[in-house]
């Protein structure tokens, strides 16, 4: 493996500030979407307390929306299906945890705390940074920022749902997706990641209308795993270097 680039104090400070900015920007965009969940969950039959507990404990937007959507369609009798859908969507966080483990570092309590904040956005912001310290900053700023903002906006949406009307009309879901895409875009400069992104999007789009929430995301993830495992379209591309500090934590040369 090619040695990771060294970062001096000025570089590290610049990287950390950039991670702060990216983390806060993504946290603001994603947190706003919590208003939609709060309003839709109450409209689906959950009370305000149940809605807020979901955000406090489950804290993964896709699973929460899947749970509320199934409950709204089938009532209490649909609870087993709602739990299954939410659980299937949450499986992707296990893969995030495996990838983030060397970034978070050793220690039971540190990893236990990080588990709650290992979501799409915190993982994306962290892995978008170049230095080990900036990756940690990006992870914690994004994860904690979204957790606080998401729970506050969930409560606001649950309380003001009738006043707000249909929250989907405000386009808050598009704001969260746009912030996520902004982090992904710089990585799409080679053939393989571009092909993976397109293929995964096509698979998820085709399967979403015919499968329950959860499996389309997992099948799309399998596409990425297979392409990476067999290195399709990337035979001549060198793997990216780990940032300074991460390789040492993993025991790599």
Q: 23 with 142: CB under 8 angstroms?
A: yes
Mean pLDDT, the chain, rounded, equals 77
- State both tokens at 36: 């939609």
Residue matched to tokens 């990641």: 193
The predicted-structure confidence for 34-67, as pLDDT tens digits, reads as follows 888 888 888 888 889 999 999 999 888 777 887 7
Residue matched to tokens 């990425």: 224
Domain boundaries, the chain: 9-190+237-250
175 CB-contact burial (10 Å; exposed 0-12 / middle 13-18 / buried 19+): middle
Query: What average pLDDT does range 212-220 have in this prediction?
Result: 72
Note the pLDDT of residue 219.
79
pTM attached to this predicted model: 0.70
Note the pLDDT of residue 154.
94
Note the pLDDT of residue 104.
94
């Amino acid at each position: 493996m090619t040695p990771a680039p060294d970062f001096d104090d000025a570089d590290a400070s610049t990287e950390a500030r950039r991670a702060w900015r990216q983390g806060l920007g993504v946290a603001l965009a994603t947190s706003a979407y919590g208003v939609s969940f709060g309003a839709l969950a109450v409209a689906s039959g959950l009370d305000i307390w149940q809605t807020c507990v979901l955000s406090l404990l489950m804290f993964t937007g896709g699973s929460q929306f899947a749970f509320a959507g199934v409950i709204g369609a089938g009532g209490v009798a649909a609870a087993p299906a709602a739990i299954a859908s939410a659980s299937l969507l949450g499986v992707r966080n296990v893969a995030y945890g495996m990838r983030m483990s060397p970034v978070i570092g050793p220690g039971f309590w540190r990893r236990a705390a990080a588990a709650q904040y290992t979501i799409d956005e915190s993982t994306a912001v962290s892995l978008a940074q170049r230095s080990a310290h900036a990756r940690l900053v990006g992870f914690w700023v994004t994860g904690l920022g979204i957790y606080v903002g998401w729970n506050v906006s969930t409560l606001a949406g649950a309380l003001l749902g009738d006043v707000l009307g249909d929250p989907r009309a405000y386009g808050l879901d598009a704001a969260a997706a746009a912030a996520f895409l902004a982090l992904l875009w710089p990585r799409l400069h080679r053939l393989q990641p571009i092909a993976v992104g397109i293929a995964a999007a096509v698979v998820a789009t085709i399967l979403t209308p015919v499968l329950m929430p959860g499996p389309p995301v997992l099948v799309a993830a399998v596409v990425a795993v297979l392409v990476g495992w067999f290195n399709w379209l990337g035979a001549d591309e060198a793997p990216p270097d780990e940032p300074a500090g991460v390789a040492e934590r993993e025991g790599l040369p």
